[in-house]
Amino acid sequence: MQADRNRSGPRSSGSGVSTGGAVAPEGGAMAPQGSAIAPQGSAAQGSAVAPQGTAAQGQGAVTSHGNRVPLTTERVLDAAISLADQGGVESISMRKLGQALGVEAMSLYNHVANKDAILDGIADQVLRQIDLPGSAAGAGWERAIWRCAVSAHDVLTAHPWACNLIMSTPRILPTRLRYIDSILRCLREAGFSAAAAYHGYHALDSHILGFTLWAAGHGISEDDLAQVMNYVPQLAADGYPYLAEHAEQHVSGSEDTGEGEFEFGLRLIVDGLKRMRATGETR
């Protein structure tokens, strides 16, 4: 029921992630050791995801031409994302992955250490799709932050399971760290104080993750929509006239201004940050 979103960024007015785990609230556990996926270039032994091209790689499925497609970590993670998109992370198992890839389940362990490694790997793959803000001097920070926030919302909406997974894992995800740092860097290098960047980041990240989770939980089928429409008049009769009015706006799309609910909230945050920057406020 959301309106088509305006992706051109802020109008004339102009625009997080806490440091716990992947997106855990502040104070969440971050285990520096035992990360399921070692940082790129790490020489640490026991990495949960085996490097591609090693002798440990198994054989993959056979194509229609009789050629065998090599099994790689990337193929395993891509298959896991497909399973999660269809049935949530609960649907991921070594047996189902093996079936999807045309290999024995045991051969997967040549590329991933365990299910935790798979979950961290697919979260990492999703986070890589977000358009991170670069350094932005002057007013350029508004467009950079706007673009990043809309990109993150779109990516997480495309994979409804990703928000909960990213927020619940206690392990460090390098892509999550880069995401956090890129937003903080954009704000700080645009002239925000450390305190203002601190609060600004949390406002942005809570909106991105919170709204995306909220929207994912408010999907409605055509059949359910018909039932809602039939019940709306009863809301007013039962003493909830403004809720009835609100429900009618959802159903009719009468408040479609070309900017969706996510962008509406994002604009409030960006405008607030712009005011803070102009006045030197810290919160």
Per-residue pLDDT of the chain (283 residues; tens, 9 = 90+): 444 444 555 544 443 443 344 333 343 433 333 444 444 444 333 344 444 433 334 455 555 455 667 899 999 999 999 999 999 999 999 999 999 999 999 999 999 999 999 999 999 999 999 999 976 666 699 999 999 999 999 999 999 999 999 999 888 899 999 999 999 999 999 999 999 999 999 999 999 999 999 988 776 667 777 777 788 888 889 999 999 898 888 777 655 556 789 999 999 999 999 999 988 776 6
Cα 5 from Cα 152, distance rounded (Å): 14
Contact 145, 183 (CB under 8 A): yes
The one-letter code for the residue type at 280 is G
CA distances from 215 to 79, 125, 207, 242, 249 (A): 26, 22, 11, 21, 16
CB atoms under 10 Å from CB of 61, counted, come to: 14
CATH number of 138-279: 1.10.357.10
Contact 110, 56 (CB under 8 A): yes
| Closest to 256 (Cα-Cα) out of 9, 7, 3, 6 | 3
- Residue-range domain boundaries for the chain: 138-279
∠ CA 59-36-165, nearest 5°, is 105
